[in-house]
Amino acid sequence: MNFIDVWRRHDFGEVARRIASSGPSEVRRALGRPRGSVDLDDFAALLSPAASGHLEEMAQAAHQYSLERFGRTMRMYAPLYLSNACANVCTYCGFSAHNKIRRKVLSDPEILAEARVLKAHGFESVLLVTGEVARVGRDYLANALALLRPHFSGLWIEVQPLPEEDYASLAQAGLSAVMVYQETYDARTYGRHHLSGPKADVEWRLGTPDRLGRAGVKRIGLGALYGLSDWRADAWFTGLHLRHVETVHWRSRTSVSFPRLRPHEGGDIPVTPFSERDLVQAACAFRLLSPEAELSLSTRESAEFRNRAFRLGFTSMSAGSRTNPGGYASAPESLEQFAIDDNRSPAEVASFLRSQGYEPVWKDWDQTYDGFEGAHPAPRRALAAPAALA
């Protein structure tokens, strides 16, 4: 079954109304469910305004579930922006094709220069990010993966949706995970914010996790961009998508992210409310819906918030992020996609986690796992330390 068919059965406005009208008895029922048996009706109740009065109970349960499944650990990763060239016009993004900015696509030496900095910080998992243009397609990504494969244990991508066969071939090139955020599941709002370019095709994007599952990609990341439409309904649809992926593509792991709209170059659009309190409610609801999904907390959020919220179901964090291509080494002044809010170094974040009794985990994957179906994995090689950090 394809998710598009599932999605079509639910009207966004109707879902938003149903969540808004959830009452205390539905919330109590959802909170009384044994672990692992929260269903999508319960999830709706947990996302409702009625549940916001039960946030402490939700947080305690989310914390407990995460402890049991993941222990006191936090997986660390960093984004590595490869390109800001983009053919899409999206109202909320700094890389939008209409923005008059210098476009940059990293060369091989530049990619390796970025990698050196991230390695020196201790990162073993990197998330490769690009805009969407033809020249930054499958072949460019395969080359980047081949360049980076010897140096990192986990290679994830957050790029434009690709056809199933491209994912299958990238999986052979050492891809460990793919994040593809729907931005919003509200078709009308989606159309208002994705004005032109391939991204305007909402269904192509909606079908991406199914293509990932069929291609055998081992981890599939979902999410909505909160601030575009009604957050509760977008979170519910993300949960619907998560449940679909967990059910149909059960061999793949899942992760969920909670990006909030952040200031960026050239953007001045109305942003729907999504407070830190709402973010906590959403994350806790996801943890109760899925005790095993990875939940990610990004540097879009402030250090003060992250220092307290990290216990509330989250299992992975980025740190020291740069959201511009070449931002770590080769072109630190290039335009960023959005402003980050937690400017601490990875070492500072890790040290804070340790002070709270949590273990920052840099490596939780091995490239061998990505080599089972392809050629033998390349031997790992040491990268020379960057001059600045040597």
Partner 1 sequence: MSAKPLVIAGVEFSSRLFVGTGKFSSGEAMRRSLEASGTQLVTVALGRIRTGGEPDDILGHLDTGRYRLLPNTSGTRNAREAVLAAELAREALETNWLKLEIHPDPKYLMPDPVETLQAAEQLVRRGFVVLPYVHADPVLCRRLEEAGAAAVMPLGSPIGSSRGLESRAFLEIIIAQSGVPVVVDAGLGAPSDAAAALEMGADAVLVNTAIAAAADPVAMADAFRLGVAAGRAAREAGIARPEPGREPAIASATSPLTAFLGEASR
Q: Interface with partner 1 by CB under 8 A: which residues?
A: 29-38, 55-57, 59-61, 63-64, 246-248, 250, 275-277, 280, 288, 302, 308, 311-312
Nearer to partner 1, 275 or 368 (CB): 275
Q: How many CB atoms lie within 10 A of CB 372?
A: 7
Nearer to partner 1, 30 or 115 (CB): 30
Q: Which is nearer to partner 1, 64 or 91 (CB)?
A: 64
Minimum CB distance to partner 1, residue 174 (Å): 27
Cβ at position 36, least distance to partner 1 in Å: 5
Q: Name which of 78 and 280 has its Cβ closer to partner 1.
A: 280
What tokens appear for 371 in the block?
């080599």
Minimum distance, C-beta of residue 340 to partner 1, in the bound complex (Å): 15
At its nearest, how many Å lie between partner 1 and the CB of residue 275?
5
Nearer to partner 1 by Cβ, of 56 and 268: the residue is 56
Least Å from the CB of residue 31 to partner 1: 5
Query: Which among 316, 342, 225, 243 is positioned nearest to 285, based on CA atoms?
Result: 243
Question: Cβ closer to partner 1: 55 or 147?
Answer: 55
Phi, psi angles (nearest 5°) of residue 345: -75, 160
CB of residue 57 to partner 1, shortest distance in Å: 5
